[in-house]
A and B are shown apart, each in its own frame.
Chain A
């Protein structure tokens, strides 16, 4: 059909090209569902993948709960919980200590790890689609280090402890990421528009500057505090108190919902700004929105976990290889896998050199760094 083979009888009428052969396939009156089922995302496949990932996350969470300085088998865990339900508080035993460890230390930490990983992966998905670059993530773009700088400054001036019975650090982290974003915006925007390539460039430069400032702050700090600071900067999770965890969960839920609301726009934006505009997206508004939601999320995440790198880059990429490119599935699947991944990585981080701990950022960097190299060196074809 593309090549008119009918050259033998050229039309003699002036101004008309040769007659066109009829298309071999008549336009179908209704869609061929088999082909669409294979090549597009449907509600069925979405539910299957998300359901599977939820089950996987739950099973691995149960497994992670067992590991720690002391291993707790499933039977024992069941016994401990059974006794708690009976609520026999008349005699204190070793199991009650174990129950405290499970419920007050391991469980909130596992949950926090899951949330942090999920948020980072979701932000990674959004930024990669927006910048059309599989190497983008909040860490690379300087949003994380902006948040970290905010927190460092707060710690340096001793704001760190409490304001109104709540830690003020998340607010400082958020302020830092918003400042980072605003600066990036100022640097990258030209004539009311936000060219994507300058966003990437501005982000990388800001990241370098912020990192230097953080190093400076750390080096002038009193050594006792600077060690804790270093550990936090490397990315580490600490068991949060339940009220803190609740606040963070609500915050993360709101931000994740806002980002999920952009999945269809992200699908179109992944084709580039001009095609997206021609398909009816107000691209300037969409960019501003998505960057703001990402900064909100990153600020909170960094304040509770420091700079956990590479999750936002590696997980979305791996998810795309598995489930395709449709962000309606890539976004929630990345959030679930990212959460599960960080949860498992953190379990390793707190058990490998037990009774001491490693910062989980080291674990993610050890997995993510080589993957980054692999992307850069062996998959050039996949990158713009």
Chain B
């Protein structure tokens, strides 16, 4: 199974992760809190969150500030551990998997992609091969990237349109470019699931559309399951197959955009007036800010 260090293992199922007829993610009554909890006044960041993610779907997690969106995404990536309830990845409890087992199946794109040290774009993308590398105690970490690793990295860079930046340093890139580099790194993990935290924050309109179109293509062409957190209700409505609306750590609604992006639901959750109509091309719900004369 192992020809050389860094050999691509992703095509063969690893021993501990059995991908049977299970949903990608299955979360049951998940609770989570930050810091020490006051037993008298429990402050759950997430409360009794249950949902499942189907293979090949794009799920958008939306909700007001502090509703627990990012915490939920980090729980799915096993960056933070769930404290009550269970999350299963392809039928296996997340807490029972090793970090690198999760990393071979799940790519995570954080919101903050800043870097202090002058790594090149290629070096950054190649780090996506880390969970696939063979680490024997005696090789002291000095394994070089294999041709297979490079081919995968190059393909990810071409997909994310950052191949032309390959020799640049990530510290010199713009936020949008760095975002694409980090998505390329996640693709280099050859994951089955891609988790993204606010992928369009800080991006201009052109790059927002660009990222959305790319994610849609990854879903269509590679069957990638995508879970993204966004503040942008329109993005979620137009591009996601299903939308999960969180409020104060609880699931308010989960369903196709037309079931979730509704005026009364949004007004109750966001506690302000909104305008919901239909997108002229897709016919999907579209959210607009209230005009001045509506709020005054």
Residues of A within 8 A of B (CB): 1-4, 10-12, 14-18, 20, 23, 25-33, 35-36, 38-43, 129, 132-134, 190-191, 257, 260-265, 267-268, 270-272, 274-275, 277-282, 320-321, 324-326, 328, 382-384
A2 (CB) vs chain B CBs: closest residue: B210
Complex CA–CA separation, A267 to B115 (angstroms)? 11
A274 contacts across to B, CB distance below 8 A: 74, 79, 108, 110
Given the known interface contacts A36-B122, A325-B118, A326-B119, the answer about A278 and B155 at a Cβ–Cβ threshold of 8 Å is no
Q: Does B233 contact A (CB under 8 A)?
A: no
B98 contacts across to A, CB distance below 8 A: 282
A316 (CB) vs chain B CBs: closest residue: B117
B211 contacts across to A, CB distance below 8 A: 2
Q: How close is A279's CB to chain B, nearest CB, in angstroms?
A: 5
Q: How close is B229's CB to chain A, nearest CB, in angstroms?
A: 14
Cβ–Cβ contact B161 & A2, under 8 A: yes
Residues of B within 8 A of A (CB): 35-36, 74, 77-79, 98-104, 106-108, 110, 112, 114-124, 126-128, 130-131, 133, 135, 137, 140-145, 147, 150-151, 153-155, 158-159, 161, 163, 166-167, 171, 180, 182, 185-186, 189, 195, 206-207, 209-214, 216-217, 238-239, 281-284
Complex CA–CA separation, A277 to B189 (angstroms)? 13
Q: How close is B83's CB to chain A, nearest CB, in angstroms?
A: 11
- Cβ-defined partner of A17 (8 Å) among B36, B171, B238, B283: B238
A272 contacts across to B, CB distance below 8 A: 110, 112
Complex CA–CA separation, A30 to B151 (angstroms)? 5
Cβ–Cβ contact B150 & A31, under 8 A: yes
Closest 7 CB pairs of A and B: A280-B103, A2-B210, A280-B131, A31-B150, A278-B108, A280-B100, A39-B122
- Cβ-defined partner of A261 (8 Å) among B35, B140, B207, B210: B140
Cβ–Cβ contact A270 & B115, under 8 A: yes
Cβ–Cβ contact B207 & A2, under 8 A: yes
Cβ–Cβ contact B127 & A279, under 8 A: yes
Cβ–Cβ contact A191 & B36, under 8 A: yes
Given A264-B130, A272-B110, 12 further pairs, Cβ under 8 A: A17-B213, A23-B159, A23-B161, A36-B154, A39-B167, A40-B123, A265-B141, A271-B115, A278-B108, A280-B130, A282-B99, A383-B116
Cβ–Cβ contact B130 & A268, under 8 A: yes
Given the known interface contacts A261-B140, A264-B130, A278-B110, the answer about A32 and B159 at a Cβ–Cβ threshold of 8 Å is no
26 A-B residue pairs with CB within 8 Å: A2-B161, A2-B210, A3-B210, A4-B209, A14-B282, A14-B283, A17-B238, A17-B239, A23-B161, A25-B163, A29-B151, A30-B151, A40-B123, A133-B116, A191-B35, A261-B141, A267-B123, A270-B115, A270-B119, A271-B124, A272-B110, A278-B108, A278-B195, A280-B131, A320-B118, A328-B142
- Cβ-defined partner of A16 (8 Å) among B100, B151, B161, B282: B282
- Cβ-defined partner of B118 (8 Å) among A1, A12, A324: A324
Cβ–Cβ contact A39 & B123, under 8 A: yes
- Cβ-defined partner of B127 (8 Å) among A27, A41, A134, A267: A267
A40 contacts across to B, CB distance below 8 A: 120, 122-123, 126, 145
A30 contacts across to B, CB distance below 8 A: 147, 151
Complex CA–CA separation, A3 to B206 (angstroms)? 6
Q: How close is A288's CB to chain B, nearest CB, in angstroms?
A: 15
- Cβ-defined partner of B141 (8 Å) among A262, A275, A384: A262
B281 contacts across to A, CB distance below 8 A: 10-12
B106 contacts across to A, CB distance below 8 A: 278
Cβ–Cβ contact A27 & B142, under 8 A: no
A132 contacts across to B, CB distance below 8 A: 116-117
Determine chain A's interface SS by DSSP, over half rule: loop
- Cβ-defined partner of A277 (8 Å) among B99, B137, B207: B99
Q: How close is A105's CB to chain B, nearest CB, in angstroms?
A: 35
Given the known interface contacts A12-B281, A27-B155, A271-B115, the answer about A39 and B238 at a Cβ–Cβ threshold of 8 Å is no
Q: How close is A220's CB to chain B, nearest CB, in angstroms?
A: 42
- Cβ-defined partner of A281 (8 Å) among B116, B130, B163, B210: B130
B214 contacts across to A, CB distance below 8 A: 2
A193 (CB) vs chain B CBs: closest residue: B80
Cβ–Cβ contact A281 & B141, under 8 A: no
- Cβ-defined partner of B107 (8 Å) among A32, A191, A278: A278
Cβ–Cβ contact B117 & A129, under 8 A: yes
A262 (CB) vs chain B CBs: closest residue: B141
Complex CA–CA separation, A383 to B118 (angstroms)? 11
Given the known interface contacts A25-B158, A267-B127, A280-B100, the answer about A324 and B120 at a Cβ–Cβ threshold of 8 Å is yes
- Cβ-defined partner of B159 (8 Å) among A27, A281, A383: A27
Cβ–Cβ contact A23 & B158, under 8 A: yes
Given the known interface contacts A16-B282, A35-B167, the answer about A260 and B140 at a Cβ–Cβ threshold of 8 Å is yes
B78 contacts across to A, CB distance below 8 A: 277
Cβ–Cβ contact A31 & B141, under 8 A: no
Given the known interface contacts A28-B154, A274-B110, A324-B120, the answer about A257 and B140 at a Cβ–Cβ threshold of 8 Å is yes
A271 contacts across to B, CB distance below 8 A: 115, 124, 127
- Cβ-defined partner of B108 (8 Å) among A18, A275, A321: A275
B36 (CB) vs chain A CBs: closest residue: A191
B123 contacts across to A, CB distance below 8 A: 39-41, 267, 324-326
Complex CA–CA separation, A105 to B49 (angstroms)? 71
Complex CA–CA separation, A373 to B166 (angstroms)? 33
A323 (CB) vs chain B CBs: closest residue: B118
- Cβ-defined partner of A15 (8 Å) among B144, B207, B284: B284
Complex CA–CA separation, A23 to B142 (angstroms)? 35
A382 contacts across to B, CB distance below 8 A: 116, 171
A131 (CB) vs chain B CBs: closest residue: B116
B159 contacts across to A, CB distance below 8 A: 23, 27
B153 contacts across to A, CB distance below 8 A: 31
